[in-house]
Homo-oligomer: A and B are copies of this chain.
Amino acid sequence: MTKKQKDKPDIVAVAKAAGVSISTVSRSFNHPELLKPATRKKIDRAVQRLGYIRNRAAQVMHGRRSGTIGLVVPTIDNAIFAELIQSFSDGLDQQGFTMLIASHGFDLDREYKMLRKLMEHRVDGLALIGLEHSEATYQLIEQQGVPTVAIWNYSDEARLSCVGAQNSEAGRLAARHLLDLGHRDIGLVFPDPVGNDRAHDRLHGALSELRREKIKVPEEWQLQASYSIADSKRASLSLLGRSPRPSAILCGNDIIAQGVLYAAKRLGIAVPGELSIMGIGDFKGSGEIEPSLSTIRIPAKRIGALAAKQIADAVTGKSAGTTATNYELSILIRDSTATPSGMANT
């Protein structure tokens, strides 16, 4: 073939094909209103004919934005984040951004590496989950000056802009609900709080509320389970198989609660008759499970959408400085919690 054959057409090829200069082609993309309609049409046709697609990399080199936002999450394949990621992605898309995503499996050192990787790609902005990050991570963000938003957690003394809810409050509310129902024998199933401030905060919120009522949770009623139905079912099978067993179980999130629910069902323990189960999160489907899951609602969709808008605004200069948005939590009393059986007829 001639000179071009394997490689993609560039703006020069388009210019030649349209019989105009490179600058004119460039302008037809960036400031079309400056062109004579006839010229614009010529260029459009050439673009069409050649199958030209603009090269963002070259634009970035000019100080243009890359049009990408990096999202770093612990895991993707987890009901917890799926809704959030979707709404975040949709929000970005609306603003013309593309999402680069990386996961670190709850390993904060890997998180740091992922951040660097995304920065090499010159993302215009970044989103992380939670506010617990390695010092290196925080320093990197500050040093590089990449607009960043922390999702899912709220703190008024956060080092980053954040959009989320108070997880300690979520834990507290969940505990409160069980206490209000009259439960005193309460078990806890939570994920490993290391490197996971959401879990940590929820657990401590719950524990502090229980402590206020002078309730102690025996060591063997405090279980750890990863964010998986299988894991939580396995863990709680042993807890529920023993005697005495708690009259209620407070779970670190709805997935764990689902596992506990199935464990109870497997053991023939009636929910909520003999055992109340409380979740946190209100994941998709939590209201449809039978019995439907009582839980603390954290509005993932709205959080994701707002986070997208915030980071986009920060990038485009529509806003500056750090902001902290706290979403109110609400308690959803459904069918998995009830008055403990011993008190049923008081």
Contact = CB atoms under 8 A, between A and B. Distances in A.
A233 B290 CA distance: 11
Interface in A219-270: 228-230, 233, 258-259, 262, 265-266
Contacts of A66: 57, 121
Q: How many copies does the complex hold?
A: 2
A6 interface: yes
A135 interface: no
A285 B228 contact: yes
Contacts of A77: 82-83, 85-87, 284
A99 interface: yes
A51 interface: yes
B82 A76 contact: yes
Given A56-B121, A82-B77, A6 B284 contact: no
Given A120-B53, A285-B230, A101 B99 contact: yes
A267 to B, nearest CB: 10
Given A54-B120, A76-B86, A101 B101 contact: yes
A102 interface: yes
A334 to B, nearest CB: 13
A103 interface: yes
A93 interface: yes
A100 B102 contact: no
Interface stretch (A38-46, A111-119, A182-190, A319-327): A111-119
Interface residues on A, range: 35 or more
B285 A258 contact: yes
Interface in A27-65: 51, 53-58, 60-61
A12 B284 CA distance: 51
Given A53-B144, A262-B289, A121 B101 contact: no
A310 interface: no
B100 A6 contact: no
Given A6-B145, A60-B57, A262-B288, A103 B89 contact: yes
B120 A55 contact: yes
Contact of A98 (B54, B118, B290): B118
A69 to B, nearest CB: 11
A341 interface: no
Given A82-B78, A122-B57, A228 B103 contact: no
A75 interface: yes
A100 B99 contact: yes
Interface of A: 6, 8, 51, 53-58, 60-61, 66-68, 75-79, 82-83, 85-87, 89-90, 93, 98-103, 116-122, 140, 143-145, 228-230, 233, 258-259, 262, 265-266, 284-285, 287-290
- Nearest 5 interchain pairs by C-beta: A77-B86, A57-B60, A229-B285, A265-B290, A77-B82
5 contacts: A8-B144, A57-B58, A76-B76, A89-B103, A99-B102
